Amino acid sequence: MESLWRIIIVLAFPGVTDSAVSKKSVITSLHAKWPQTSFIAETSEFMAQESDGLFWAYIDEIVEKVSVEEWHTYSDARQYDLSVRLAGSLLKETRVNILKFALSLRAHSPTVLLFQSLGSEKKESCTAFADVHGTITCDVNDLETIIGNSIRHVFLFLCSSAPTVYSIDHVYPATKEHNVTLIIYGELATAPWRKFHLAAKALSRSGKVKYILRHFVKDVRDDKLLLSGYGVELAIKSTEYKAVDDSNTIIDKVAVEKTSEEYMDSEEDNFGFNFSALRRLHDGLKESIEQFRLHLLERDELTPLKVWQVQELSYQAAQRVIQAGPQKALTILMDSSQNFPLAARSLSQQIVRKEFTYEITANQEQLMEYGISEGESALFINGMMVDVDALDVFQLLDMLKQEEKLANGFFRMGIKNEYLSMLMDLELSNERVSYALDFRPASPEYLNNLDTDKQYRQWANSVGLLLQPYFPGMLRPIARNLFTLIFVVDPSQRETRNLLQYALRFYAHEIPVRLGIVFVANDEEDITGFDDASVAMLNLYNFVKVNSGIQKALNVLIEVLNGKENSLSPKDVLQYFQVEYSNYDPNDVFGGNSEYDNGRSIGHKFLRDSGLGFTPKVLLNGIILDDSGITGDRFEETVMMEIMRVTSRLQKAVMEKRLRDQDNVMNWILSQ
């Protein structure tokens, strides 16, 4: 339904309505190209999204409590109030508030419009009608006859094309499976629809038909659907300017009353006058009071302020909002933000309490830890940050629904005041890691150390940077060992080549991940490099590392593995050594008393004690990556996905101050 809304909203067009001359402002209203839809129909669709049972319970409420004779005499406002009140008897109060939000967005209007289009295709002139496999009737008394004939000739119906049933259709639960389908088209809360509904309900309960209800209005309204202004930007610029004297503009009574209502709650204090109180006390002088108020505003419009008057203007504006109380705070905030130049002088006279200043300072310090600096805005829903710049109001509606459902579940379990603290402690990731391995006993061969290496010194090194917004799918360049990737490999295996290449590639591109390798070779003491390929490769690695460094040593292993398509033998390693290092004695490197034989037992012991079973394995912060993800072409994707999951846990630890800058991050992670 949301996709349908987004398709249709492209067709919407903005229209500019006349504004009160006195306000000197432009008011825009956004209309769709389709007609108004019924609030009660949209409410029923909201109930249908909750559950089929709630939808049909809401229909029963309409049948029992709405006067079908008076329905069309109600104004839109009264129909809206009645629709919400009927839903209130079936929903919790918090859910009713979400319903009001959905109605203000007209979120379910596209669904109602779709049903209207299906009904219009029938080209019937009745207010309500029934469709039984293509047979249309506007008389409820004919239903029994048509359905009776259908049941007697059920074979004909099975051979003919059955009506299409859509996923959004409302099927009466009494008989969801039946060969005969009865579709009722009508407008909720009208007399013709009520008659058809009661008849169809009885037929469905008796097992004679499958009853489907669809919205349909015979006389479509001429006025277009008024949409919320979300996402609409009014950008009007004219290079032609005219001097107009509007000092003697006559404000008619209607305009004054309209303007007064809009400013009544937001302009209570103007040069010491409380205009809200003045209007209540002198109801017959509204026009004069409004003209006086506008005069004060216009006189104050361009009044320059001293430097000292501007210094605490933001604090004074915030104090004004807080003092307004919960009922008027949003109105004051909106008016102050939209008319700040006009309100600036009045705000500069606002007294700011010291306690309020301390409170703001404390809030700023706390928000800085989440990467929110002074002057920035942020939106949180139960601790979840919502990107305001990419805010999707329909996504926001879905989030509110989910959070309300979760909160209601806690409430039904008897958890009330402690709900929020429990919610913040929930694990946000979809998958829980059953265990992780402490790889420190294996003494990995590290290629890098983000905490100390010179090449990372141009990066910032605070763990708090994890909380700052960053490009999706990219790693934050933080000079801390937040992520450690360990390769557990047999140096003689063919699969090892690709993994070592990935390790060197990550290092060369300065990916903010610490890289380590644990070599697993034959640990039998009487076996030498002349007898086993894994021992020979480890000897060769240690030899090259001592003379040329770890990167060169890994490149040598890759070269040896590249030169052999089948399984590697000790002879292949020895042959490579004699060609590349002919000045050295092979016995000194591969023999039983070799100085380059270290690391054999520790890697094999780690593989055995950890229960990993076989090589190769790859660990990220001790978490074992899936074998299918590390041996194919999906290695980088597998690593990045796991890093994203680990990041959320690290961010939570930083927010809760369990992980601090002074901690050794890798040791802290492995101690968990």
102 confidence band (pLDDT: 50, 70, 90):
very high
pLDDT the model gives residue 27? 63
Look at residue 197 and tell me whether its pLDDT is greater than 90: yes
Q: Which residues in 516-548 are b (16+ Cβ under 10 Å) and which e?
A: bbbbbbbbeeebbbbebbbbbbbbbbbbbbeee
Is residue 348 domain-shared with residue 405, that is, in the same domain?
Answer: no
The better pLDDT of the pair 215, 314 is held by 215
Q: Is residue 258 part of a domain?
A: no
461 confidence band (pLDDT: 50, 70, 90):
confident
The better pLDDT of the pair 343, 259 is held by 343
Q: Which two tokens stand for residue 191?
A: 């007399």
45: buried, middle or exposed (CB in 10 Å: 19+, 13-18, 0-12)?
A: buried
Is residue 52 domain-shared with residue 113, that is, in the same domain?
Answer: yes
pLDDT the model gives residue 569? 83
Is residue 543 domain-shared with residue 664, that is, in the same domain?
Answer: yes
The better pLDDT of the pair 232, 457 is held by 457
Is residue 527 domain-shared with residue 603, that is, in the same domain?
Answer: yes
Count of CB atoms situated within 10 Å of the CB of 346: 19
Look at residue 429 and tell me whether its pLDDT is greater than 50: no
Is residue 191 domain-shared with residue 170, that is, in the same domain?
Answer: yes
Is residue 411 domain-shared with residue 483, that is, in the same domain?
Answer: no
Helices 2-9 and 393-412: crossing angle in degrees, nearest 10, is 150
Highest mean pLDDT among 195-199, 428-432, 495-499: 195-199
Q: Is residue 398 part of a domain?
A: yes
**Among the residues of 282-353, which ranges form H helices?**
286-300, 307-310, 313-323, 329-338, 340-348
Count of CB atoms situated within 10 Å of the CB of 74: 16
For residue 488, the surrounding DSSP H or E stretch is strand 484-489
pLDDT the model gives residue 426? 55
Inter-residue contact 253 to 132 (CB < 8 Å): no
Residue 172 in 3-state DSSP?
Answer: coil
Residue 448: give the domain boundaries: 440-670
- What single letter denotes the amino acid at residue 623? I
Q: Is residue 21 part of a domain?
A: no
pLDDT the model gives residue 299? 58
196 confidence band (pLDDT: 50, 70, 90):
very high
Report how far Cα 260 is from the mean position of its chain's Cα atoms: 39
Is residue 170 domain-shared with residue 83, that is, in the same domain?
Answer: yes
Q: Is residue 542 part of a domain?
A: yes
The better pLDDT of the pair 18, 293 is held by 293
Is residue 62 domain-shared with residue 185, that is, in the same domain?
Answer: yes
Inter-residue contact 128 to 184 (CB < 8 Å): yes
Q: Is residue 249 part of a domain?
A: no
Look at residue 34 and tell me whether its pLDDT is greater than 60: yes
Mind listing the pLDDT tens digit for each residue in 359-369? 988 888 878 76
The better pLDDT of the pair 392, 234 is held by 392
Q: Pick the closest to residue 648 from 391, 427, 372 (CA basis).
A: 427
Number of domains composing the chain? 4
pLDDT the model gives residue 643? 87
Q: Is residue 25 part of a domain?
A: no
Residue 135 in 3-state DSSP?
Answer: strand
303 confidence band (pLDDT: 50, 70, 90):
low
Mean pLDDT across 122-146: 88
Look at residue 267 and tell me whether its pLDDT is greater than 70: no
- The vertex-12 CA angle with 10 and 17, nearest 5°, equals 150
Query: How does DSSP assign 554-589, residue by residue?
Result: HHHHHHHHHT-SS---HHHHHHHHHHH-TTS-HHHH
460 forms beta bridges with 478
Express as a percent the part of the chain with pLDDT over 90: 20
Look at residue 42 and tell me whether its pLDDT is greater than 60: yes
pLDDT the model gives residue 170? 95
Q: Pick the closest to residue 511 from 523, 503, 521 (CA basis).
A: 503
Alpha-carbon span 479 to 513, nearest angstrom:
9
The better pLDDT of the pair 410, 541 is held by 541
Is residue 103 domain-shared with residue 139, that is, in the same domain?
Answer: yes
Tell me the pLDDT of the chain averaged across its residues.
80
For residue 28, the surrounding DSSP H or E stretch is strand 27-35
